[in-house]
Structure 1
Amino acid sequence: MPAAPERRTQEQRRTTTTAAVLSAAAELVVESGVPAVTLARVGERAGYSRGIVTHHFGSKQALLEALAKASQGGFVPGVAECAPGLDRLVRLIKGYLTELGRDGVRGRAFLVLWAEAATAAGLAGTFRERDESFRAELRADVEAGVRDGTIRADVVPREVAVAVLGQLRGIGLQRLLDPAAVETRGLGPAVADQWRRALSAG
């Protein structure tokens, strides 16, 4: 007699539901834009009711905030395990552009939301926080590189962080608008090498 299937815990069911809802929301953001996203449409796309979406997230605003955080977290595999410094910074830049080339739905949704945040007060705070977190990560790499002598001492970490983030987001938006015009396979290594040469103390 076959064994009965193992029952999932409440936490496992919640995790599965959350992932499905966030994936559905990302698809709708990319396909139709932020204004077209409703809790009912997200629930329908995910295979649940609007009530389930409301129960898990409470509001469209909270859902979009959760999507922004989930889409950006761990975007570049392996970087979190690297020690801060020039090598990590270069790997992050190259990896970010490589991931853009994969055209993942969540990555594209993040860029749509980020652009929308410029004029949507409800999203602005979330994306200011996400961008500042990214800049802080970049600053830490530059500061570590200055300390260990691999990055020039005259480099200003805050300025590098703003410039790198601006470049990566700008390339991402260009690819979102016209994928054929932005081929990231060769661009990632090239941009990473430019930053290595611009910052290197040696």
Structure 2
Amino acid sequence: MTVAVIFDLFGTLLEIRNRQNPYRQLLRIGAKQGRAASSKDMRAIMAFNGGISEAAEAFGICLSSAELANLECMLELELESIAPFDDAMIAIELLREHGVKIGACSNLAGPYCSKARSLLPGLDGYALSAELGMLKPDPGMYRSICNMLGVLPEQVESMQVLMIGDSRRCDEHGPRAFGIPGYHLDRNGAGPYRDLISFVQTVTADEHRGLHK
């Protein structure tokens, strides 16, 4: 019996239609100031619950008032462009009709958390990296959302919690290592699920169809 489904956010439930990449631009400014770039910078940003100015301070990047205003404008343009995919709300409503709890588990920077909550209100749990200070595929992310949903996969054999998202590492392999069946969503069609409707229809269909095996 499926009692809960966990969704990734960006690339799964939500899309950014006007990418501005303000945090990458912040790091470029830092590089011009002599700050050594790291492959871990973007992950650090997504585990940091603050805005542009706070991130700049944390990284030791000095911003002029004009640079800060420009970055904040870029951020606002990007936030305003975020919208649910066409199938997102339909999938959520289908699950709700079947009494399935719904959670979000996603890696995202601080300013994106409130935007995601406003676009997807009333979910049963939100495990958001900037708010928790950790990122998928850290097991703590999956444990946090399971606690919010009241389902621990290692303790309740008869109650099934599933996850789907567009990252094999974070939404398929990561949750599976924790004990949650994870499924990869490929909206380009190179996988078993290219949209959320087909996934949810399988979840809510007869258990004997074997999704969880």
TM-score (norm 1): 0.28
Query: Which entry has the higher C-alpha Rg, 1 or 2?
Result: 1
Return the structure number with greater relative CO, CA threshold 8 A, min gap 6: 2
Higher share in helix:
1
Identify, as 1 or 2, the structure richer in strand.
2
